[in-house]
Amino acid sequence: MQRDERGPDTAAEAGLPDLPPSLSAARDGDIAVLRLSRPDKRNALNDPTVLSLETFFTGLPDGVRAVVLAGEGRHFCAGLDLGELQERDVAEGLRHSRMWHSVFEAIEFGRVPVVAVLHGAVVGGGLELACACHVRVAERSAYYGLPEGQRGIFVGGGGSVRVPKLIGASRMMDMMLTGRVHDAAEGQRLGLSHYLVEDGQGLATGLELARKIASNAPMTNFAVMQAIPRIAEASGGNGYLTEALMAAVAQNEGEAKRRLRDFLEKRAGKVEKDG
Ligand code: 1HE
């Protein structure tokens, strides 16, 4: 039977890690689609869900070359599960936040690029999760907020590092101090999303982008994910050296040599405008 007739493989069929009911995964060729699957709680992130994100991203089988992350129901993610926010002492609070950091680092610096498909609420820890992904597609319904201020807490999932990289520290301060919510159009203008699409189109766009990503040479994707964020934080001198090392490694791959030959022998596609 053709894959298209049968639909994507389920997680178990595809060798994807076991997940709790709050997450579901399926595989379509070299793409894995992971969904936050707790719509009755607006995909709020409890500890088992966050820890299982790490299990998923560190346990991806070799053939998966890109991941699409989406949310079920009307919202991408309502952030930290406030029902679980028991009174923690300082040490427990530190450990909890550092646990989120390590999980989101496993996404940002994991094996493969991740395309987040955003709709409805993308708030608090949900925005932090989206910012740990590599490409963000927003549907028109998406909106972004950091309600930690109203809840009397602070970001703890890496938001104070990642959000300012996208929109600047001063805009993040405004969101947290005043509770300002940005709609999808404003989020696109500010740089919270890379693509803005109509409602219901996010997953198809996310999959299309993931397929493009998966068709790149794996070493190029590795270099993009691992080197660009580090170079962005490095001094110019360290950045140039890291870039040169990464460029030399990538161009030495058989895959790079094959692709260059394909271009020179007129078998490769040209650079063309989208649309
Ligand atoms: C939740 C959560 C949650 C919903 N934790 N249970 N995040 C927030 O402060 C956002 C809080 N949530 C909301 O503002 C709204 O729920 C939404 C705008 C996201 C969605 O509104 P709506 O009208 O679709 O749903 P609802 O009726 O508010 O919620 C449906 C159920 O989900 C309800 O439970 P029910 O048992 O009464 O049905 C809600 O209690 C539940 N729910 N959001 C727990 N977040 C590492 S630090 C990160 C820090 C943060 O993320 S702080 C921001 C937390």
Task: Indicate whether 3 pLDDT > 50.
Answer: no
pLDDT band for 84, please (50, 70, 90 cuts).
confident
Query: 97-134 burial by CB neighbour count: b if 16+ within 10 A, else e?
Result: eebbbebbebbbebbbbbbbbbbbbbbbbbbbbbbbbb
How far does the centroid of ligand 1 lie from the alpha carbon of residue 246, in Å?
43
How far does the centroid of ligand 1 lie from the alpha carbon of residue 149, in Å?
15
Both structure tokens of 60: 């991806």
State residue 6's pLDDT score.
56
State residue 15's pLDDT score.
86
Pocket probe for ligand 1: among 36, 40, 41, 42, the residue whose CB has the most ligand atoms within 8 Å is 42
Mean pLDDT of all residues in 196-206: 98
Assess contact for 127 and 159: CB atoms under 8 A: yes
State residue 88's pLDDT score.
84
Q: Whose CA is nearest to atom 39 of ligand 1?
A: 41
Question: Catalytic residue positions?
Answer: 128, 148
